[in-house]
């Protein structure tokens, strides 16, 4: 597990934030954040005072990255691109989370490296990460100003014959009485636009390219569901509420999921990233065998 307990040995009076800065080689701001997120304790008691003076050993919950051998697909001095397999989370949700892509990013490039955008756990494909804080700020700003173009592949249900421009606002579902973690099409939501282009039809399925022009949570999934072409393998959009709840409660077996959704994973793949950085322009394509996975389902 990436979060480990580390004991900092100390036998002199020193302010807590200074002890953390010296031990981990971090900035004052980073040390204060560690204290604010309740990662520091002494003799079983949390230390919450940033300016507290400590004279004994303290215990720190520390993120210690561990690699599983996934290296970057492409890198420069400022950023790197990973080709994430389906099933790997991008960020740890909590201290009990196991291996995530952040492990690889920080294993390769250090504690100052970070991921610049989101990708769902089951979505495979390209993830852009920054090697240092300045690059992170720049890349996140580029995503916000729509200077980075993303292209996805998806295997969807139904025969989609023509290109679609889906312009439907998306809002978080506020009714948690039955189901959570789901967004909905709502006229009061935030603007969301997706271009969907059919690439090849396979009977009851269509392979499509999806280009999100905005970056809302679950945007491609909910937009394709809205136009009655849900993504194969989607256990939330395109299935009954009872099936979605069973999936979220981890009560849906692999065979049941395949029976209800057509696949044991979400058939959505981040295929390409295109952007300018400095004096260069980049267009990077995933090398994962997503089409081969689609063919197994189609056949």
Contact predicate 115/101, CB 8 Å: yes
CB 279 within 8 A of CB 162: no
Q: How far apart are CA 244 and CA 251, in angstroms?
A: 10
Q: CA angle at residue 181 from 94 to 143, to 5 degrees?
A: 75
170, 192 Cβ separation under 8 angstroms: yes
Neighbours of 101 (CB within 10 A): 21
Q: Is 135 exposed, middle or buried (0-12, 13-18, 19+ CB in 10 A)?
A: buried
* CA gap 9, 260 in Å, rounded: 55
78 labelled catalytic: no
| Beta strand ranges found along the chain (DSSP E) | 3-8, 14-15, 40-42, 45-46, 53-54, 58-63, 74-75, 79-84, 114-115, 124-130, 148-157, 164-167, 170-172, 183-185, 193-202, 205-212, 268-277, 280-285
Closest alpha carbon to 270 in 284, 252, 256: 284
Q: Which of 78, 111, 120, 264 is catalytic?
A: 120
- Residues tagged active-site: 120
């Amino acid at each position: 597990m990436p979060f480990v307990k580390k004991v900092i040995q100390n036998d002199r009076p020193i302010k807590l934030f200074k002890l953390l800065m010296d031990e981990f080689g971090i900035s004052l701001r980073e040390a204060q954040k560690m204290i604010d997120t309740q990662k520091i304790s002494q003799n079983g008691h949390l230390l919450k005072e940033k300016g507290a003076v400590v004279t004994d050993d303290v215990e720190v919950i520390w993120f210690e990255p561990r690699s599983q051998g996934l290296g970057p697909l492409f890198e420069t001095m400022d950023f790197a691109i990973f080709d994430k397999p389906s099933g790997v989370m991008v960020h740890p949700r909590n201290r009990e989370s196991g291996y995530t892509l952040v492990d690889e990013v920080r294993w390769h490039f250090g504690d100052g490296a970070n991921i610049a955008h989101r990708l769902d756990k089951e979505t495979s494909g390209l993830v852009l990460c920054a090697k240092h804080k300045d690059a992170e700020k720049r890349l996140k700003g580029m995503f916000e100003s729509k200077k980075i173009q993303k292209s996805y592949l998806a295997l969807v249900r139904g025969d989609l014959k023509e290109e679609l421009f889906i312009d439907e606002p998306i809002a978080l579902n506020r009714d948690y009485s039955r189901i959570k973690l789901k967004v909905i099409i709502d006229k009061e939501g935030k603007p969301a636009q997706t271009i969907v282009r059919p690439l090849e039809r396979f009977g009851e399925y269509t392979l499509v390219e999806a280009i999100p022009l905005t970056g809302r949570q679950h945007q491609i999934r909910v937009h394709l569901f809205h136009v009655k072409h849900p993504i194969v393998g989607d256990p939330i959009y395109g299935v009954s509420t009872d099936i979605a709840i069973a999936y979220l409660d981890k009560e849906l077996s692999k065979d049941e999921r395949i029976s209800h959704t057509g696949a044991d994973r979400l058939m959505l793949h981040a295929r390409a990233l295109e952007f300018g950085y400095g004096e260069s322009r980049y267009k990077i394509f995933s090398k994962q065998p997503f089409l081969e996975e689609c063919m197994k389902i189609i056949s």
